[in-house]
């Protein structure tokens, strides 16, 4: 093995080295997926564009603009109209997040964050959402998160690794010291491309590429996650 090769070092990683956990936000910490769905549904109804929950599920992890492009398919609209629609969708979405409270944390998140603090793990949130700084304070978890970032701080959105690499850098950790928790196919792909550990939440059809997959964080202990990672490698 050549220790000078970053590539091979990444392949030699073991879960023993994990010192930080990088969370996706939407669909991992909080179920904003439903709010995104209702906001897109309102917009597409107004525009007479077909949309349903199945399409919404393919938008997980994509930026707002990438989501609209996916919804539009090969329909052509001028840039000014696209910008107006993006702005309108976000207005609908902001109405939903204005009502959010710590009760909107997904089951298991609060306990896991406490455990990570006790275990001395560093924590970050790396989201595709431009609204990350509006959502996090509403969830009452800011005191247990060291770094909050999103894809607007980097060049490329998920599935590119940029936002996770940026979060790791901010935490002062190398990629192999980080575990990413994701609910999106694009997010798992981004975590693996970053050379990080990946925990996928949801069906294997969606997040099966991750090192380990769980239905949710409900009742999940930090030692369970580490144990599963050890048996997965």
Three-state DSSP class for residue 89: helix
The order of strands in the sheet holding 20-23 is 147-150, 122-127, 20-23, 178-182, 197-201, 212-214
First-to-last CA distance in the chain? Answer: 18
**Closest Cα partner for 24 from 113, 95, 91, 124?**
124
Interaction of residue 189 with Mg ion, rule CB under 5 A: no
Helix (H) or strand (E) holding 60: none
Interaction of residue 136 with ligand G6P, rule CB under 6 A: no
x/- string (CB under 6 A) for ligand G6P, residues 99-128? ----------------------------xx
Which of positions 11-30 make contact with Mg ion (CB under 5 A)?
Answer: 24, 26-27
**Binding partner of 122, given ligand G6P, Mg ion, none, CB within 5-8 angstroms per partner class:** none
Which of positions 41-70 make contact with ligand G6P (CB under 6 A)?
Answer: 59-64, 67
Interaction of residue 178 with ligand G6P, rule CB under 6 A: no
**Binding partner of 59, given ligand G6P, Mg ion, none, CB within 5-8 angstroms per partner class:** ligand G6P
**To the nearest whole angstrom, how small is the minimum distance from the Cβ of residue 23 to ligand G6P?**
12
Query: CA–CA distance from 1 to each of 9, 10, 18, 60, 232 (Å)?
Result: 8, 11, 21, 38, 22
Interaction of residue 185 with Mg ion, rule CB under 5 A: no
Whether 162 is a known active-site residue: answer no
Residues annotated as catalytic are 24, 26
């Amino acid at each position: 093995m050549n220790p000078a090769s970053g590539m091979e070092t990444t392949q030699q990683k073991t879960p023993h080295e994990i010192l930080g956990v990088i969370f996706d936000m939407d669909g991992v910490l909080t179920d904003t997926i439903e709010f995104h769905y209702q906001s897109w549904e309102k917009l597409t109804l107004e525009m007479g564009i077909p949309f349903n929950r199945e399409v919404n599920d393919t938008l997980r992890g994509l930026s707002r603009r990438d989501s609209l492009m996916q919804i539009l398919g090969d329909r052509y609209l001028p840039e000014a109209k696209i910008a107006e629609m993006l702005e309108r969708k976000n207005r609908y979405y902001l109405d939903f997040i204005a009502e959010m409270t710590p009760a909107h944390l997904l089951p298991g998140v609060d306990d896991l964050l406490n455990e990570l603090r006790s275990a001395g793990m560093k924590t970050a949130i790396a989201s595709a959402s431009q609204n990350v700084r509006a959502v996090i304070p509403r969830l009452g978890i800011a005191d247990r998160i060291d770094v909050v970032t999103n894809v607007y701080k980097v060049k490329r959105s998920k599935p590119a690794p940029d936002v996770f690499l940026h979060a790791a850098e901010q935490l002062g950790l190398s990629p192999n010291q980080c575990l990413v928790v994701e609910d999106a196919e694009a997010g798992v792909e981004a975590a693996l491309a970053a050379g990080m550990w990946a925990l996928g939440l949801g069906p294997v059809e969606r997040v099966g590429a991750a090192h380990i997959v769980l239905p949710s964080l409900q009742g999940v202990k930090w030692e369970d996650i580490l144990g599963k990672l050890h048996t997965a490698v």
